[in-house]
Structure 1
Amino acid sequence: MARERLNSGNERGIELPKAKLNRETLGHVSRLLSYLKPYRGKFIAALVCLFLTSLVGLAFPSFVGALIDTAQGKRTDDWLPATIPGILVLAFVVLGLQALISFFRILWFVTVGERALADIRRDTYLKLITLPMNFFAGRRVGELNSRISADLSQVQDTLTTTIAEMIRQAVLLVGGIVFMAIISKKLIFALLAVLPILIVSAVFFGRFIRKISREAQDKLAESNTMVEETLMGIASVKAFVNEPFEVKRYGGAIGEVAAIAIRGAKFRGMFSSFIVLCIFGGILGVIGYGCVLVSHGEITFGELLKFSLYSMFLGSSLGSFPELFANVQKTVGASERVLEILAEKGENVSTSEMADPIEQKIRGNLSFSHVSFSYPSRAEVEVLREVSFEASAGQRVAIVGPSGSGKSTTAALILQFYSPQSGEILFDGKLASQYSLTDIRNQVAIVPQDVLLFGGTILENIAYGKLSASREEVVLAAQRANAHQFIISFPEGYETVVGERGVKLSGGQRQRIAIARALLKNPSILILDEATSSLDSESERLVQEALEELMKGRTSIIIAHRLSTIREADRILVLEKGQIVESGTHQELIANEQGLYRYLSGLQFDVA
């Protein structure tokens, strides 16, 4: 039953809007195309080359027809040389020019497309990492990653290939019709009689193809999410011996992807078969009619051959539009999902690559005044209710309480990850809203229970606290955090790669690197979120010594599960169900025989 619930929850995913080709969705695409503006010079040049190569391509049936008519002594094209060698020389010159122009057309289109895509990726990533925590609470990492990878790859195909190909086929289509009309109006009218049927059919089949393509994209993104989440939690998968379950779950997902794709292929195959039948059947009938006109002397054999070649151009262009149209459908859907991210309101934080100087210095005074808070995803559950407390600069204030009482939420509010629904948070007597987010977060540091290290070196992970720090500053911070000795014991020292999420290091080693990172940041306010709760005794001793060094001279908010680590705190706040039920020093609280703090202490050690 538990597995069924898990499977059901994972398969629901997030409902995304369906892509439709209308004014609104085309407006979405045009917003992405605005990224071409910085490169419009090369883009226009590429378009010119595209038109030239397409027009030159239309000249070759004329060369072939002229060769045939010249060989038979029937000239109809006065703009070409009068001899076969002359026609061939001109044809090869034009072919050489077309080859040269085609090179620059492809190079410039790809250059513009790739650079525009890089700009879109950068802006999407920038928007993602500056979005508030509310945004990430209701979304899965795999889904967001799919938007930057799969969806933008679809946009990339359109920018670098589909747009150019659609324009080229449109030029060939229109140009072919014009040249065919010049050759014989009777033949072109006969051929164009089948076009309305093709257009109506394209609209009809296009609806099905669009819907199926979108379903396939969504299911594929869902299956990719499963892979990512499974690999991130691979230790749990192995510990519970759930490899067969995960394989079955993923197999079901990709099976649905394959089924949808096959269903889409059936419709595309039916459409393609219909197009082939209509186009080439129509062309064959028109050529037969052309043979009748040749026999009556109304056109020459060379003109019929030219008309036939232009008919092939026309058929090829019309035949390619269904696939190009399907790509546009996919791009519309992909662009909508990307623009959903770009349209989100981000946090007002600095995005400069250089470290911004702190505009408003925080001395370390912190105050909560009647703060109440509920997470947006669970608005009905009040996590904090009318919480009020003060921490003076340099004080150590501990927050304890049962699980779910609101301890970590308090830390999140101090860091301004969320804003309270009511009440005020003040730094040095000023409302948090009077400071920039950058200033607050530059002067508040957190050492969490579960330390996240990036996949680079130890040096890079410590320097993350201050990107401009020198190696000497990093080493000094590591020494103060009791980390230097174990770091230099590694063969590569500070250049040791810690692995994904720091898996190559023990829990205590990761904690001390996190402490070194916080020391390097030199914050005014420090948050310790159960920083020693999961360590063995020896690691806890080393980490506790590092924490003592870290807490010197700065306001410290200590969220603790092990009450033995907070006995020396200046003040202890006891939270229960989002409310402060007790407050005082360790001795004051332990003396209250009916108090929650004494009860919690009794669960951990003898208080008699």
Structure 2
Amino acid sequence: MGSVKSNAANAAGGPRASRTRGRRAKTLARYAGKPILLLLQYVGRRPLAHAFVLLGIVAAVGCSLASQFAIRNLIDALPHGRAHPAGVIAAFVVIVVLLFADNLFWRVSGWISVRTFVAVTGDVRRQLFGYVTGHSSTYFSEVRPGMLASRVSATANAVFSIENTVAWVALPPLLSVLGAIAILGWVNVWMALCLLLISVCMAAVLFWLAGKGSSKHMRFASDAASVDGELVDVIGNMATVRMFVATQRESARLDAFLSGEMASRQTSLRYLEKLRLLHAAATALLSAGLLGWVLWLWTQGRATTGDVVLVSSLGFAILHGTRDLAVALVDVTQHVSRLAEAAQTLLVPREMDEAIGAPALQIRDANIDFENVTFAYPGRRPVLDHFSLHIDSGQRVGLVGPSGAGKTTILALLQRTFDPPRASGAVAISGQRLADVSLASLRDAIAVVPQDISLFNRTLLENIRYGKPDASEVEVLRACERANCLDLIRSLPDGLETVVGERGARLSGGQRQRIAIARAFLKDAPILLLDEATSALDSESEAAIQHALDRLMTGRTVVAIAHRLSTLRNFDRIVVIQHGRLVDDGTPGELSKRAGIYRDVLLRRERRAGAGVFD
């Protein structure tokens, strides 16, 4: 334990990978509020596959339009077909070939898109998860986990929906309309130019109107995410809900969220229907005018029968195409609004981030220094006020003081959960400022046993291995033995393969505590932080766990917060903190003889014990 193990750094891919991830995170943050650019950067990761999908769609639409022109040639060849069948046969063969090619190109592009679009959603989830996990604890305390999970999924789903809608709903009618206009130019140039001008104006108006409705779509996306977050919050606290007979109360609360979400959804959908109604009226008038124009040309002998059929079919293609395009555009607008809303929540700038290419923490000796640190949480008074403390390597130091004195903040700063401002002091390990080293190497050097143990809904083996994923089962069992939880493992039907439930709900508090100690043994970090690790346990469990903690503390630098002073009896030092300042420091024996907070607490405990009241 003379130096920090490099397993976390190696797992993270080393300094070069760390620099790459840092640059990607900073680049990703720039896309907050820029959903189209965010989408394009994911498309740009797979340019070849997206190009093949695009080419397939263009080719399929081209074949479809060409087949209509081939039908026009067939109709014009029919009057002379009996005398000259070669023209009819040639037109028939061209139509058949185009029909087969049309279907082939659709299927090829569809096959490629299945893999490509799904892979993009994986990219989105993977990168957003990596970005979100780099946020500070303040961010996670202000945003509900259910809402975060919902927005990560919503962003990926929005990207998938946009790609699918553009590829299969928006792009084909757009290409059809443009191709139809080009073919109409073969019949009459002025007809094509007028149609092009009207289509561009109509598309611009629809796009402008669709953009004006984006706030309605974003409101719906926000309300939907709030409902998801509320559901997760209530379900995650179902034991408390039942304890206080609050099922009806929570149902009423959820109804209020659902009513707001349904109202915003109806507003969003009604706006889309208004756009579709406007477009339907415009395209119906346009198609009628187009058909009347070509019939007038036919009466004057300036258009053939095939031309009339061609213009009629192309007119209907334009009618249906622009209608589908309008529907697709407003749908895409809605999906883009959802993407923008989710991205704005997830891609907020990180409050605390490591420098790109930050070096790994090198531990020569595991000493700790707080150098004149002043720290305050946002909008609150300073918790630490010019706080200084030096802890030698291998020392066991207990933190004592009233609630709100700053004890928990000291552990948080040591883990770099927060950073003190540059001008307000520094926290250092082995002479290196924590703000200047990589977070992975820092956290690899520290093991934590908290009061509230957090376990994953996975097997005991996976939970214990969490700090050392490559540990063998023999190493895990050895750690369990040292943590006094081997009997627990053997008592379970599935042993280490037992699934512990949500947050370890299938284990008692003492059992979860021993699993956390076993996890810390396996991690084998040079610095150990104990945050009231035995305060919530009964006396029997506390004694067993205290023995395990004594083994765990051997040879490590230990900083502990203890509610029960008896757990600090064998510590080297007790540091007394009040109002964010160090007010006393000494061995347990020295402080018990010196007037102050520590001795006052001891005297109160003795009086309670004399009265038959025990902690």
TM over 0.5: yes
The reply on whether 1:96 has 2:100 as its aligned counterpart is: yes
Q: How much has 1:215 moved relative to structure 2?
A: 1.1
Listed as ranges, the matches of 1:119-268 within 5 Å are 119-163=123-167, 165-185=169-189, 187-188=191-192, 191=195, 194-195=198-199, 198-199=202-203, 201-268=205-272
- The one-letter code matched in structure 1 to 2:270 is K
Q: 1:600, CA displacement in angstroms? A: 2.7
CA contact (8 A) 2:185 2:192 kept: yes
Counterparts in 2 of 1:24 and 1:561: CA distance versus 1, 3 Å: closer
Compared CA separation, residues 32 and 340, structure 1 to 2 (3 A): farther
Q: TM-score, normalised by structure 2?
A: 0.86
- Quick one: distance in 2 between partners of 1:176 and 1:264? 32
Amino acid in structure 2 at the alignment position of 1:150: A
Contact (CA 8 Å) 1:130, 1:349: kept in 2 or not? no
Task: Assess if the C-alpha contact under 8 Å between 1:384 and 1:577 holds in 2.
Answer: yes
Provide the residue aligned with 1:307 in structure 2.
311
Q: 1:555, 1:282 → 2: CA distance?
A: 81
Are the equivalent residues in 1 in contact too, given 2:169–2:324 (CA < 8 A)? no
Q: Which moved more, 1:496-505 or 1:386-395?
A: 386-395
Compute the displacement of 1:412 (Å): 0.7
Q: Which moved more, 1:548-557 or 1:560-569?
A: 560-569
- Aligned counterpart, 1:584: 586
Instruction: Measure the CA separation in 2 of the matches of 1:148 and 1:564.
Output: 46
Equivalence for 1:479: 481
Deviates more, 1:314-323 or 1:192-201: 192-201
Q: Is the 8 A contact 2:354 2:436 kept in 1?
A: no
C-alpha separation in 1, matches of 2:223 and 2:346: 20
Q: Distance in 2 between matches of 1:207 and 1:31?
A: 18
Query: Are residue 53 (structure 1) and residue 70 (structure 2) matched?
Result: no
8 Å Cα contact 1:532/1:540 also seen in 2? yes
Matching residue of 1:381: 381
- 234-243 or 500-509, larger mean C-alpha shift: 234-243
Partner Cα distance (1:37, 1:186) in 2: 39
2:321 is matched with which residue?
317
Counterpart code for 1:401: G
1:261 Cα shift? 1.9
Report the Cα distance in structure 1 between the residues aligned to 2:34 and 2:86, rounded to whole angstroms: 49
Contact 1:413–1:419 under 8 Å retained in 2 = yes
Q: Which residue of 1 aligns with 2:354?
A: 348
Distance 1:149 1:24 in 2: 17
Change (3 A) 1:98 1:363: same
Equivalent in the alignment of 1:420: 420
Quick one: distance in 2 between partners of 1:37 and 1:433? 34
Q: What is residue 21 of structure 2 aligned with on the other side?
A: none
Cα distance, 1:275 vs. partner?
Answer: 1.4
How far apart are the structure 2 equivalents of 1:26 and 1:442? 35
Q: How many angstroms apart in 2 are the aligned matches of 1:426 and 1:385? A: 17
Shift in Å at residue 307 of structure 1? 0.5
- TM-score, L = length of structure 1: 0.87
Whether the aligned pair in 2 keeps the contact of 1:445 and 1:521 (CA below 8 Å) is: yes
Could you tell me how far 1:373 is from its partner in structure 2? 1.0
The 5 Å alignment of 1:279-294 reads: 279-294=283-298
The Cα of 1:216 is off from its aligned counterpart by 0.7
Letter in 1 for 2:70: F
Over the matched positions of the two proteins, sequence identity in percent amounts to 30
Question: More deviation in 366-375 or 454-463?
Answer: 366-375
The reply to whether residue 517 of structure 1 matches residue 522 of structure 2 is no
Q: Cα gap change, 1:281/1:25 in structure 2, threshold over 3 Å: closer, same or farther?
A: farther
Match of 1:406 in 2: 406
> What do the CA deviations read for 1:238-271 (whole angstroms, capped 9, x no partner)?
2222222222222222222221222222222222
Kept in 1, the 8 Å contact 2:427–2:433? The answer is: yes
1:18 corresponding residue in structure 2: none
Which residue is 1:63 aligned to? 70
Q: Cα offset for 1:27?
A: 6.0
Give the 3 Å change call, closer, same or farther, for CA 51–194 of structure 1 in structure 2: closer
User: Could you tell which deviates more after superposition, 598-607 or 192-201?
Assistant: 192-201
CA 1:29/1:190 → structure 2, altered by over 3 Å: closer, same or farther? closer
Q: Which secondary structure state, in structure 1, belongs to the residue aligned with residue 425 of structure 2?
A: strand
Amino acid at match of 1:53: A
Q: 1:167 Cα shift? A: 3.0
- 2:602 match: 601
Q: Where do 1:499-510 residues align within 5 Å?
A: 499-510=501-512
Shift of 1:190: 6.5
Any idea what the Cα deviations from partners look like across 1:28-79, whole Å, max 9, x if unmatched?
523432333342222222222121111111022223333433334499xx9x
CA contact (8 A) 1:384 1:578 kept: yes
Distance 1:604 1:318 in 2: 82
Q: Is the 8 A contact 2:124 2:155 kept in 1?
A: no
User: How large is the Cα RMSD of the aligned pairs?
Assistant: 2.9
Which deviations, in whole Å up to 9, do the C-alpha atoms of 1:75-100 show, x marking residues without a partner? Answer: 9xx9x9612x4433332222112211
Q: Which amino acid aligns with 1:227?
A: L
- Say if 1:81 and 1:172 are closer, same or farther in 2 by CA, change over 3 A: farther
- CA contact under 8 A between 2:53 and 2:113: conserved in structure 1? yes
Contact 1:449–1:531 under 8 Å retained in 2: yes
The secondary structure found in structure 1 opposite 2:405 is: coil
C-alpha distance in structure 1 between counterparts of 2:33 and 2:395, whole Å: 58
Partner of 1:13: none
Q: Residues of 2 paired with 1:314 and 1:483: CA distance?
A: 74
CA contact (8 A) 1:528 1:558 kept: yes
Cross-structure match for 1:360? 362
Tell me if structure 2 keeps the 8 A contact 1:154–1:330: no
Contact preservation (8 Å) 1:28, 1:339: no
Superposed CA deviations along residues 277-318 of structure 1, whole A, max 9, x for unmatched, are 221232123323433433443323322111111111212221
- For 1:362 and 1:495, locate their aligned partners in 2 and report how far apart those are by CA, in whole Å: 38
What secondary structure does 2:382 align onto? coil
Contact 2:217 2:337 in 1 (8 A): no
Cα deviation, residue 340, structure 1: 6.5
Tell me if structure 2 keeps the 8 A contact 1:443–1:524.
Answer: yes
Offset, 1:123: 1.7
Q: How far apart are the structure 2 equivalents of 1:254 and 1:190?
A: 48
Q: Which runs of 5+ in 2 are unaligned?
A: 1-29, 611-615
CA contact (8 A) 1:368 1:388 kept: yes
Uncovered stretches (5+) of structure 1, i.e. residues with no partner: 1-22
Deviates more, 1:209-218 or 1:182-191: 182-191
Aligned with 2:123: secondary structure? helix
CA–CA distance in structure 2, aligned partners of residues 571 and 470 of structure 1: 36
Query: How far off is 1:521 after superposition?
Result: 1.0
Query: Are 1:440 and 2:438 an aligned pair?
Result: no
**Deviation string for 1:8-31 (max 9, x for gaps)?**
xxxxxxxxxxxxxxx999965234
2:465 to 463, 466, 469: 463
Among candidates 570, 574, 577, match of residue 576 of structure 2: 574
Asked whether the 8 Å contact 2:155–2:338 carries over to 1, the reply is yes
- Is contact 1:110–1:160 with CA below 8 Å preserved after alignment? no
Q: Bigger relative contact order, structure 1 or 2, given CA contacts below 8 A and separation 6+?
A: 2
SS at match of 2:493: coil
> How far has the Cα of 1:362 moved from its partner?
4.5
Question: Residue in 1 aligned with 2:7?
Answer: none
Instruction: Report if the CA contact (8 A) 2:460-2:500 is conserved.
Output: yes
Rounded Cα–Cα distance in structure 1 between residues aligned with 2:240 and 2:432: 45
Separation (CA, whole Å) in 1 of partners of 2:390 and 2:34: 51
| Structure 1 residues 455 and 177, CA gap change in structure 2 (3 angstroms) | same
SS at match of 1:505: coil
Q: How many residues align?
A: 574
CA contact (8 A) 1:589 1:597 kept: yes
AA of the residue aligned to 1:405: A
